[in-house]
Amino acid sequence: MNKKEDLALLVAVGIIFTLIMSSIVILFVYKYISRQKKFNRQNELLLAEFHKTLLQSQLEIQEQTLNKISQEIHDNIGQVLSLVKLNVGTMDIGQPEQLAEKIEASKKLLAKAIQDLRDLSRSLNTDYVQQMGLARAIEYELELLRKAGDLKVEFLLKGSPFRTDTQKELILFRIVQEVINNVIKHAAASEVIVELEYQSGQLLLTITDNGQGFDLTPLEQKTNPTFGIGIKNMHSRARLIGAEYSISSTPGKGTTVRLLLPEPLNQTSNAGNS
């Protein structure tokens, strides 16, 4: 009788142990599936946010490019053609030497206008950032700024340029545009220096101005949520592509923005040399 009781007890313990282990396994599987679903949802949301930011960046680049083209046509090409019109309108066949000088000057002015229009036509292609590469796109952006005469502009390119993910390049370029716009609108600066350094496995982008600077303290405070919205947006965009964004500024001593994109993907050499 004792043996039967021992056997029954052993069977009962075995059943209880099996039920406990089964419950643990089921609970583990349930938690794993729940975490996996949560992880997948987060990835989907992150991917959707990335594509939304990418589309927004493309639209903003197009808008800013059209504005700059309009300004370039009005301020530069329009003036050149006005000079040509003036030369043609004042030509006097009775003064051969003066006539020859005006014809030659008009030819040079027209050649300049044609070249400027060719340069601008590249910008009308909405994919010009992807085609030119980040380095050349930034250089071209600064060329337009230099022609406008608003700022003294310097572009420093260090290291051996390579291409990274084109979508990341586009968002980086849009951040550069936003920083430069802030310099023009708020910094009261006379000079801006953009440095793009291609390092081993990463690229470093630094934008420095000699403007009035500002106090960064309100950025850390929640009492004024509208302060520095543009800076916060740039920070969010940088984080979205895996870049580190930092800004340093002191009243009266200018501002420096740094962007570090680690371990670029799809690297190919000679970016921006086309």
Render pLDDT for 172-225 as a digit per residue (tens, 0 to 9).
Answer: 888 888 898 888 888 889 999 999 999 888 899 999 999 999 888 877 766 666
Residue 128 CB: number of other CB atoms within 10 A? 18
Does the structure show a pLDDT above 50 at 88? yes
Report whether 145 contacts 153 (CB < 8 A): yes
d(CA 32, CA 34): 5
The pTM of the whole model exceeds 0.85: no
Structure tokens at 232: 């916060």
What's the mean per-residue pLDDT of the chain?
A: 79
Q: For residue 187, give the nearest of 208, 217, 204 by alpha carbon.
A: 208
pLDDT band, residue 272 (cuts 50/70/90): very low
Any idea which fold 133-274 has? Answer: Heat Shock Protein 90 (3.30.565)
Output 178 or 55, whichever has higher pLDDT. Answer: 178
Does the structure show a pLDDT above 90 at 103? no
Encode 44-65: b = buried (16+ Cβ within 10 Å), e = exposed.
eeeeeebeebbeebbeebeebb
What is the residue extent of each domain of the chain? Answer: 1-126, 133-274
d(CA 35, CA 215): 42
d(CA 76, CA 256): 31
pLDDT band, residue 262 (cuts 50/70/90): confident
Does the structure show a pLDDT above 90 at 15? no
d(CA 142, CA 252): 24
Which pLDDT score, from 0 to 100, does residue 198 have? 92
Query: Secondary structure of 13-38 in the HEC alphabet?
Result: HHHHHHHHHHHHHHHHHHHHHHHHHH
Say which range, 5-14, 22-31, 139-148, 197-206, has the weakest mean pLDDT: 5-14
Q: Which of 61-65, 72-76, 117-121, 169-173 ranks highest by mean pLDDT?
A: 169-173
DSSP for the chain, written as a single string: -HHHHHHHHHHHHHHHHHHHHHHHHHHHHHHHHHHHHHHHHHHHHHHHHHHHHHHHHHHHHHHHHHHHHHHHIIIIIHHHHHHHHHHHHT--TT-HHHHHHHHHHHHHHHHHHHHHHHHHHHHTSTTHHHHH-HHHHHHHHHHHHHHHTSSEEEEEEES--EE--HHHHHHHHHHHHHHHHHIIIII--SEEEEEEEEETTEEEEEEEE-S-----GGGG-SS-TTTTHHHHHHHHHHHHTT-EEEEEE-TTS-EEEEEEEES-SS-EESTT--
DSSP for 62-110, written as a single string: HHHHHHHHHHHIIIIIHHHHHHHHHHHHT--TT-HHHHHHHHHHHHHHH
